[in-house]
Structure 1
Amino acid sequence: MGKVKYAVIGSGWRAEFYIRIAKAVPEKFDLTAVLIRDEEKGRKFSEKFGVKVVNTVDTLMKDEPEFVVLAIKRGCVTDYLLELFEKGIPVLTETPPGESQEDLQKLWSAYEKYQPKIQVAEQYFLQPLYASWHKAIADMKLIGNVENINISALHGYHGISMIRWMLGTKGQKCTMYGKRYHFSVTETYGREGMAFDGETFVCPRDRVTLEFENGQVAFFDFSDPAQYHSFIRTRQLSVQGDRGEIDDLTIRYLTPENIPVTQELNRIDLGVYGNQEWSHFAIMLGEKFLYKTPFVNARLNDDEIAVGSLLLGMSEYVKSGKEIYSLADALQDMYLCLKMEEAMADPYKPVVTEKQPWDAALKI
């Protein structure tokens, strides 16, 4: 397999991921250029990151990338996607693809009209830990039929994506009710690094129950932004099936002979407490590998590994049509996220979802 050749539209924090990945794994990725419309901003960006910067879509496509990555401000994504659809350019777009139900419907109508090549950069299910959990549930079927999930790890549409993926709900209707609380927390770190000044801030905590029509239930719990950037607010996951459960890094299950087993997930990172350069390798359960990185020896964090996996998946999609994360699934995730916001705006009042036009196209 040759290098994945792609271009990027955008200059923000998320766009930088796609630059770092290309530099960290040059044998797999070729970043052709970055599109920044403002010439002065583009010049400074090019000098800072050592990448080619252009100012128009037409110029961006002269290097013949397989696809473009759209990583711009979330409020501008929908209209930019329509432009790329019209030009017939394959696109991997950052989340969310739209911010209102009107945006979602507009985008799906355009998709049906143009039939573009598009996938969405919903990366969390490709992170090593989440991928390991899913393998234990879906492939190894260690915990039997999954009936409920309690997730306190991801916000909004990311959390919804993980719920639907773990439960396999597709477009099932559900009833939601919940409430947004507010609690104080001390800041410990952010994107710029660790913080030691002891400053506190008030952080919302969202608690929503989703009851699906097939009887499955999800308990969504997230404190944003504290759980993404904190040493004192942790990630938690519990998934229960009729033959076992996943409790964060512990998996309890029954063998075919109904013997109860308890095992811990074991993460393997090369170079920890040693003199090698750090890199992630795998996650094991007992003697079995649940996950192996596709980027052996590359110095990538979990999110970068996931985004790199999306790039590999997008390249395969452009060539074969095999989807990695479809537009329909992204629209469904955002639709349910908007309904969660509606539920929390009127605490404990049930909000019922409806079937959407993209329902038949859902993969997850």
Structure 2
Amino acid sequence: MDAPARLALTGGGYRAGRFLDLLARLPGLFEVTGVLARSDATAAAVAARGLPVHRDLDGLLRAAPELVLVSVPAAAAPGLVRDLVGRGAAVLTETPPAAGLAGLRELWELHERVQVAEQYLLFPHQAARRALVRRGLLGTPTSVQVSSTQLHHATSLIRGFLGLGAGPVRVTASATTSPLADPIDRGGWTGRAEPRPRTTTIATFDVGDGRSALYDFTDTQTRNPLRTRRTVVRGSLGEIVDDTVVRLVDARTVVTSRIERRQTGHHQDVQGADLDHLSFEGEAVFRNPHVGARLNDEEIALAGLLQRAAAWARGEGPGPYPLAEAAQDQLLALAVGESLATGGPVTTGVEAWGRA
């Protein structure tokens, strides 16, 4: 893209603020044309950033954004997306794209004009792992274990590593509650060290054809430093456990290698704190395209997602995450909740996005 992509944004919550912070650090790539702010508090916060504030969609779209990022609660997203698409906008909507199955079905009618802001497969280490899986280093992928993030994000990782489409999946879930200290929240260190009840949900996914997945998530695990994040991908010729890769290279040789991270700014390195690249056996398998912007891993993933979404809106490339993928992620996440509620297994059906 030669000129900065013109983006508008709706919403004033935590995620919207994170996106605005990121966009401000990438001025050569993006221009924020305006923010829809329907409350006085949101309008004041947007104005304090020096950005144009709009109270209705007509005003937001008058500045001719190429892409509108919808960052509102999942229950409100389908109606807002429909209004935007009806006015001719290309939309990137937050995850999950709808709260329930009815909302997903409603949105599917608009899928040609909608992409979803699912970033987890674009995290540097996940992208590196997926690249190795796609090379066939593990043979045929057969199972995935994800213990790092919640529901639709986790099912995105599971489906991405296994290469799953939208066929039936048998989901069985259970939950337990136990004490856990939680010293960090979205606002930073809380100053609290006392354990509080937290729920751990474990779910198994039987995909058929010998393929399966395990979901293991404890409330607040995404940012709780007392719980590690874990990804395991197993295949017919080996496995990846976080950054360790074990594989069979011939009938008598098992090799163990690692995904290595090159991080600048340590000790006397004066380049500044940045991810440079991830390598595997001497070859770079992921390079940070935003060296110098000092982005954390999630921000690197989101920046890449926004760039792909802007290129899609301009007709210059495929979208970063089609609605069909995000809808299937959420369908599996909803099945976890249904299994918890009923106490038994749930088998998902094949929806319209699986028949397209």
| Fold similarity call, TM over 0.5 | yes
1:130 aligned to 126, 133, 144, which one? 126
Aligned partner of 2:325 among 324, 329, 338? 329
Tell me the alpha carbon deviations over residues 11-51 of structure 1, each in whole angstroms, 9 at most, x when there is no partner: 1111122212222121112111111023x324421343232
- Aligned 8 A contact 1:42 1:54 in 2: no
User: What's the counterpart of residue 242 of structure 1?
Assistant: 236
Is the Cα–Cα contact under 8 Å of residues 283 and 292 in structure 1 kept in the other structure? yes
Partner in structure 1 of residue 336 of structure 2 = 340
Seen in structure 2, the aligned counterparts of structure 1 residues 253 and 299 have a Cα distance that, compared at 3 Å, is: same
Q: How does 1:93-104 map to 2 (within 5 A)?
A: 93-104=93-104
Q: Structure 1: any 5+ residue segments left out of the alignment? A: none
Q: CA deviation digits over 1:226-260, x for unaligned, max 9? A: x1121110101111111110011111112256522
Partner of 1:9: 10
Aligned to 1:220: 215
Match of 2:51 in 1: 51
Q: SS at 2:164's partner residue?
A: coil
1:272 aligned to 2:266? yes
Q: Distance in 1 between matches of 2:215 and 2:150?
A: 9
Q: Name 1:73's counterpart in structure 2.
A: 73
Q: Is the 2:123–2:298 contact (alpha carbons within 8 Å) kept by the matching residues of 1?
A: yes
- Over the matched positions of the two proteins, sequence identity in percent amounts to 29
TM-score, normalised with respect to structure 1: 0.92
| Partner residue, 1:180 | 175
C-alpha separation between the residues in 2 aligned to 1:234 and 1:70? Answer: 31
Q: Is 1:301–2:302 an aligned residue pair? A: no
Three-state SS of the structure 1 residue aligned to 2:18 is helix
Which one of 128, 138, 156 corresponds to residue 143 of structure 1?
A: 138
Deviation at 1:276, TM superposition (A): 4.0
The change in CA–CA distance for 1:161 and 1:18 in structure 2 (over 3 A counts) is same
Q: Write the letter of the residue equivalent to 1:52.
A: P
- Equivalent residue, structure 1, for 2:255: 261
* TM-score of the two chains, using structure 2 as the length reference: 0.94
| Residue identity matched to 1:334 | Q
User: 2:76 is paired with a residue of what secondary structure?
Assistant: helix
Query: 3-state SS of the aligned residue for 2:263?
Result: strand
Q: Which whole-Å CA distance do the structure 2 matches of 1:313 and 1:258 have between them?
A: 43
For residues 112 and 25 of structure 2, the distance between their equivalents in structure 1, rounded to whole angstroms, comes to 30
Quote the Cα distance in structure 2 between the aligned partners of 1:129 and 1:150: 15
Q: Does the 8 Å contact 2:47/2:53 carry over to 1?
A: no
Q: Which amino acid aligns with 1:64?
A: A
8 A Cα contact 2:147 2:215, kept in partner: yes
Which residue of structure 1 aligns with residue 155 of structure 2?
Answer: 160
Q: Where does residue 107 of structure 2 map in the other structure?
A: 107
Q: Distance in 2 between matches of 1:193 and 1:350?
A: 38
Alpha-carbon distance, 1:288 to partner: 1.0
| Alpha-carbon offset, residue 4 of structure 1 | 1.8
Q: SS where residue 115 of structure 2 aligns?
A: strand
The residue matched to 2:352 in structure 1 has which SS? coil
Q: Distance in 2 between matches of 1:258 and 1:150?
A: 27
Equivalent residue, structure 1, for 2:38:
37
Which amino acid is 2:319 matched to?
E
- Rate the CA distance shift 1:256–1:81 in 2: closer, same or farther, 3 A: same
* SS of equivalent to 2:216: strand
Contact 1:342/1:351, CA 8 A, preserved across alignment: yes
For 1:19, the aligned partner's letter is L
Letter in 2 for 1:61: L
Looking at structure 2, the residues matched to 157 and 42 of structure 1 have their Cα atoms a distance apart, in angstroms, of: 27
Aligned length: 353
Q: Structure 2 CA distance, aligned partners of 1:172 and 1:80?
A: 29
Structure-2 separation of matches of 1:85 and 1:44:
27
